[in-house]
Structure 1
Amino acid sequence: MPATVPPQGSGPATTPNIFEEHRPTIDGYPWNLGSGVTFLIGMDFGTVHTTSVVDIAQNSTQLVKGNVTHARVLAGTRNETHFCIPSKVAISPGYPKALGEKAQCTMLFGHSVDGALENRGISDENVFDLLKLTLFPEYAADGTGPVGQLMKQTREKHNALIHTIQTKHDGMVLYKDTLKDREHEWGSQKISDMEDVVVAYLQFIWRNTMLEVAYAMGVKAKSGDWTFRKLREAFAKESHVAVSVPTVWSRTTQDRFLKLLDRAGFPSSTALVSEAVSAAICHFNMTSELEDHNGEPVNMIVADIGGATVDVAGVGKYFEAGSARFREIVPQRGSFNGSLTLNTLMDEHILDNLGQNWLQSVFQDPGWTAKIWSQHVTDGFEHAKREFDTRAEYSIKMLKVPKRALSKAIEKDARHPDFKLTPQGLHVDKSQVRTVYDKWLDGIFKIIDRSLDQFRKLHPDARPPLLALCGWGSLPPYILQKYKEKFSENNPILIEQQETSLIAQGNFATLTRADLFFKVPARESYGIRYEMLWKDVDAACQENQELEAARTEDGIWLPDRALWVVRKGESLVCPKGLFFVEGRTRVKAEAYGASFPFRWNLDILASGHDEILGTERYGAVSTAIANGRIRVVKALSIEIRQQDCKIKPTPGSQNFTEPCSLEFAFRIRVDCSTICPTMFISIPKERGVFKKRLDEYWREDPKECHTISVPLGLLHAHATLQGNSGVRLDPIESVEEEDEEEEEEADVDMD
């Protein structure tokens, strides 16, 4: 890679050396506690485009409670007015490494895909677009309704490309920046399904963001460069990330997305933010004071029209001790009714008016199928719809038409005066376009109406909330026109801005606001079931008769107890994302007279209940499992051989009527530096005792101990504005719904 090659999208908005002051700090990584810097990243993974913004904080004390300035680096800025990276991936046959081998499959990302299409290096059939749709449950839709049609078409194209990769390239792809780069790839992956493709794109976005930071520091993006190597390490472990997600995503879908982010290398401090909430906070931050001892509360309902979904959130700003805080004023809502649905509705509208038979008679000669026709219509409308305004006197040109089809069409009588085929293409009168827009907007306005109605019920004495609208880059004038007509009493405004990424900057603001983020709490407690020493029980609890009765015959041990390593609500990222615990236990031989090998049957435990104090914390695990308070995450069986530990077994009893046992120390470390943490369980190799004391710098040494690793899955309460009082959007007060089931069905209506 060239010395200081700017990553995809870098341009005038990313000034080289803007972060140069931090280079000495990066060179000194790893840092001591309380020193160093933190990378703050706001990322908007969109259906059509993705954007991330980055800034650097010296440490957590720099986080502000007032207004937040915009992040200084916009990753993905090609020029001053275009900062988004296309959410698409493409494949292209490469070159075999040797004679007789299959051609390698190159995978391109973002702007490189568009560049290859323009240069005809690849065709549209080789492009994975609309990657975000694969994460929606509706991706498996049967093809009925606008959403079903969109999902079916997208799924069929994706499946065809996956099949090509698997059959022609043995499922392997090489990540490259351009088609011309024949020698160097920056990564590779086995592709089995669309989740692997999404992971590849997220890896690209993460890497591209890091390269943007390197460019802003003036650091050479070479693997041999000392500062660049240190920057990669620090960026992976010292970053806080907020990624926006649609409101309609369930907890299950969010968890699935988090696991993909984990596979792509995102850190444990990655949190998810509702897109509409992020837009609201960004707007408050840009237009009002967030540090004011006399500030008045303000309520706002924001509708974010994205490519796939429409998200509506009600956010109120109020002041506490002179600093603004935010609260939820109505429940968040969403529907699968984004701008892509508008394309499908237009295709259906044209087909209904012109008729299937007429279209077939016109396009059968050039070989256009109904599928090709629909694709051309939706592609054409995708560009034309962005500036639609009924105040202008024009029709919309939807697509170019093959000359052979045009000659046949001119011979036929016009089926509809508002749909005309001319040498310039298919033109649709603005009245017909307006009809489609109105049908689409009607569904969006119903969601906003429900939020307004509920606001009136919850806050009968409050002023009407402000209404704000944001959307895909720049919403057409007609949308704002209709919005103002419909909700004139609420003074609707458009809050999208061309020169910044609204959602990404909103995510960044949630990170930088000290009262909203910077603590990622564990969603559950995690630990193990073991046989603990009676002497380790608190003296006050040893007087409990129930615990006394549960002791072993020799009075030394208390079996079937829980040892928690991570406790619910603890921050998983401060100070270093590491948790340690040590103890001593014993295991018994499997039968009388038996000895080595011993087996340590170990249960990994999880509990969503708050910490229990007093004698109850020493309660039997089996009882807690039966009561649903604890569950077994994973059951392990660890074989301990004599040559592994060099410990002499202890007789079971003086008269040798019990199986012998093995006593040893153990240590557990949980590494929460990734979204899906890992638990490491170690026992010493000699005499059952560790040679080095346990501190925050201790790590498993294969020369001194045996270690097994256990993946724990998602461990943290990942939604930024939900979970605990220091991190969340203040919750809405409970309210009885008149018809909760009907409300829920309406919000998720996909057709």
Structure 2
Amino acid sequence: MEGFQSRPDLVISIDFGMTCTGVAYCNVATGSDSVRHIQRWPGRTQANENKVPTLLVYPQDSATPSSWGFLAETAQEASGAGYESREWFKIMLDEDLLEQMRRKSSEPNKVPHIHEVEKWYTDYFRYLYRTIEARLRGELASRWEDANIEFIFSVPTTWKPIPTVERFRKTISAAGFGSCANHTASIGLTEAEAAAVHTARSMPGIFKENEILFVCDVGGGTTDLSVFRVKNIHGSSLSLEQIDVVFGATIGAAQLDSLFEKEVLQRLQHADRLQPMGLNDINQAAWEMRISKEYQNAKCDYGSEESLMDTETFAVRIPKLDRGYVNRDYAISDGDMYFQRDDLKGFFDTQVSKLFDMMDKQLSRVRQKHPTEQVSHLVLSGGLGNSAYVQHCLRSRYASGNTPHSNAHNMQIRIAPDPQLVVCKGNVADRVQKLKTGQSVLGWRCSRASYGTMCKILYDPYDPAHQGSKTEVDPLDKKTYIMNCIDWFIKQVKPFDSLE
């Protein structure tokens, strides 16, 4: 899938997200280095949408989806019994996390098995592949099947190369990516690295030579934090040197939504015991309230200037509840459940606290490695990174002179351009620059693992390190060797040239 050497006609990057998925591309064959993104999606062809929902709907007892993306959103709203939606499943490809969810669940039999998650991935990517082909085949001078096309995917830092990333490769391959002779599908930069590339290309004027830059991509399910040194600002293209491994954690909007869903479920259960509501499935009602537009809008607006003009409360419709139902004890009236907007603060603060912990650890690591230097910038991207409340919290802690870290006294907090598209655009931009100049925007990277090959070392009886090692005599040259050694060609944390 990744063996192709010739110059691509089209470079396409896919950012598969917890809630939505974005696709960016560059038509290299025309000589352009402009990075564009798909905005017309099935079900929204009359409007521009930067991303498509990561959502599938299946008829009950059917292995084949009936709809996906925006079409599935409509189907989900219209359908009642007989249909099942599949969403928020990105993090479930990590089997360790999936088993953790099973152990914590009050209904473990409802937590899917890994083969089911793989099936959802493959089904979703099949629809995505067909849409990408339909939208972009007109960009090419040759047939889609004959064109040289590179597909680049990003994955969360929290995923282990084996088995999770390999499992991801298997699903995209099964969906059709890289299936044509001249097509390749590869894993590109991590989400934070791609965000850094897009930011560096879009805002080169704000950086100075040798400044240290933090990039934090706070998405739907995971957060990546990476550290870079700015290089070559006076050259033909700004470049970044990674000075530490990327940190990853399960921090994001999905965790915030889970806390809201838990609160809703508790209220529904208590209200139903006090005064029966007549709902067939209270758990399903809580889930639908979690993904409701009323709650999602309140969450996205929380902490913004616009929210200051909102009412102090917001209401979320309780699905299938009679409009005449009233239960004042649990703030239910006319079939709606009412919330104080500041009820959301606790949900946000749980994620913000984890973000602070992640930032503090990274700042401490940088101070240990570079004790005399300051971190000049923190760039935020991703859906939750675009939250006004999250930005306010980070500024209060790190940009107001109150920070406990001596190397962050002058740190400026900035928002990445196109915060929800930085990952897919960054991967395309990095590949296009490499094709154009031979140099990646990320000139040096830090590996999260060590890589080497098994070897044998000639035994030296005078070397103290060789004392006590198990040896064997090679029958070919009759010399004594230490067996099962490893020759490391990439060492964890140590920077390496990304072109090597």
- Bucket of the pairwise TM-score, normalised by the shorter protein: 0.7 to 0.9
* 2:412 corresponding residue in structure 1: 491
* 1:394 corresponding residue in structure 2: 312
Which residue among 425, 432, 449 is the counterpart of 1:512? 432
Which residue among 178, 182, 189 is the counterpart of 1:273? 189
2:386 alignment partner, SS class: coil
Is the aligned partner of 1:282 residue 2:222? no
Distance 1:258 1:722 in 2: 26
What's the CA shift for 1:84? 1.0
Which residue among 235, 259, 275 is the counterpart of 1:345? 259
* 1:129 corresponding residue in structure 2: 87
* 2:379 corresponding residue in structure 1: 468
Is the aligned partner of 1:156 residue 2:70? no
* 1:114 corresponding residue in structure 2: 73
Aligned partners of 2:215 and 2:380 also within 8 Å = yes
Distance 1:609 1:619 in 2: 19
1:273 alignment partner, SS class: coil
Q: Structure 2: which 5+ residue stretches go unaligned?
A: 179-183, 401-410, 443-450, 458-473
Query: Kindly tell me: are residues 37 and 357 of structure 1, through their superposed partners in 2, closer, same or farther at Cα, counting changes over 3 Å?
Result: closer
* 1:58 corresponding residue in structure 2: 29
1:467 alignment partner, SS class: strand
Is the aligned partner of 1:70 residue 2:35? yes
Query: Kindly tell me: are residues 242 and 131 of structure 1, through their superposed partners in 2, closer, same or farther at Cα, counting changes over 3 Å?
Result: same
Which residue among 129, 139, 144 is the counterpart of 2:98? 139
What's the CA shift for 1:207? 2.7
Query: Kindly tell me: are residues 55 and 406 of structure 1, through their superposed partners in 2, closer, same or farther at Cα, counting changes over 3 Å?
Result: same
1:245 alignment partner, SS class: coil
Deviations 1:452-509 (A, max 9, x none): 12122222222223112222287332222222112215221222527x7221101111
Query: Kindly tell me: are residues 304 and 396 of structure 1, through their superposed partners in 2, closer, same or farther at Cα, counting changes over 3 Å?
Result: farther
- Residue identity over aligned pairs, in percent, reads 15
Query: Kindly tell me: are residues 33 and 141 of structure 1, through their superposed partners in 2, closer, same or farther at Cα, counting changes over 3 Å?
Result: closer
Distance 1:619 1:483 in 2: 64
What's the CA shift for 1:315? 2.2
Distance 2:29 2:16 in 1: 27
Distance 1:473 1:442 in 2: 14
Alignment of 1:172-191 (within 5 A): none
Distance 2:268 2:359 in 1: 35
Alignment of 1:336-415 (within 5 A): 336-349=250-263, 356-362=269-275, 364-380=276-292, 381-389=295-303, 391-392=308-309, 393-400=311-318, 404=322, 407-410=325-328, 414=329
Distance 2:287 2:175 in 1: 32
Alignment of 1:312-351 (within 5 A): 312-319=225-232, 322=235, 323-349=237-263
What's the CA shift for 1:40? 0.9
TM-score w.r.t. structure 2 length? 0.74
What's the CA shift for 1:403? 5.5
Aligned partners of 2:59 and 2:82 also within 8 Å = no
Which residue among 487, 490, 497 is the counterpart of 1:725? 497
* 2:54 corresponding residue in structure 1: 87
Alignment of 1:222-241 (within 5 A): 227=142, 230-234=143-147, 238-241=148-151
CA RMSD of aligned residues (A): 4.3
Query: Kindly tell me: are residues 143 and 360 of structure 1, through their superposed partners in 2, closer, same or farther at Cα, counting changes over 3 Å?
Result: farther
What's the CA shift for 1:369? 4.2
- The residue identity in structure 1 corresponding to 2:198 is C
What's the CA shift for 1:43? 1.2
Query: Which structure's CA Rg is the greater one?
Result: 1
* 2:356 corresponding residue in structure 1: 445
Q: Structure 1: which 5+ residue stretches go unaligned?
A: 1-31, 95-102, 163-191, 220-226, 519-568, 570-606, 613-617, 631-716, 729-751
Distance 1:73 1:611 in 2: 52
1:282 alignment partner, SS class: helix
- The residue identity in structure 1 corresponding to 2:116 is D
Distance 1:37 1:262 in 2: 19
Q: Would you say how many aligned residue pairs link Structure 1 and Structure 2?
A: 439
What's the CA shift for 1:75? 7.0
Deviations 1:523-556 (A, max 9, x none): xxxxxxxxxxxxxxxxxxxxxxxxxxxxxxxxxx
Is the aligned partner of 1:608 residue 2:440? no
2:300 alignment partner, SS class: helix
* 2:120 corresponding residue in structure 1: 197
TM-score w.r.t. structure 1 length? 0.51
Deviations 1:659-697 (A, max 9, x none): xxxxxxxxxxxxxxxxxxxxxxxxxxxxxxxxxxxxxxx
Higher relative contact order (CA 8 A, sep 6+): 2
- The residue identity in structure 2 corresponding to 1:313 is S
What's the CA shift for 1:611? 13
Distance 1:270 1:203 in 2: 16
1:407 alignment partner, SS class: coil
Query: Kindly tell me: are residues 266 and 106 of structure 1, through their superposed partners in 2, closer, same or farther at Cα, counting changes over 3 Å?
Result: closer
What's the CA shift for 1:46? 0.9
Aligned partners of 2:253 and 2:384 also within 8 Å = no
What's the CA shift for 1:421? 2.1
Is the aligned partner of 1:44 residue 2:15? yes
Aligned partners of 2:265 and 2:282 also within 8 Å = no
1:43 alignment partner, SS class: strand
Aligned partners of 1:75 and 1:209 also within 8 Å = no
* 2:405 corresponding residue in structure 1: none
Structure richer in helix, relative to its length: 2
1:366 alignment partner, SS class: coil
Is the aligned partner of 1:210 residue 2:133? yes
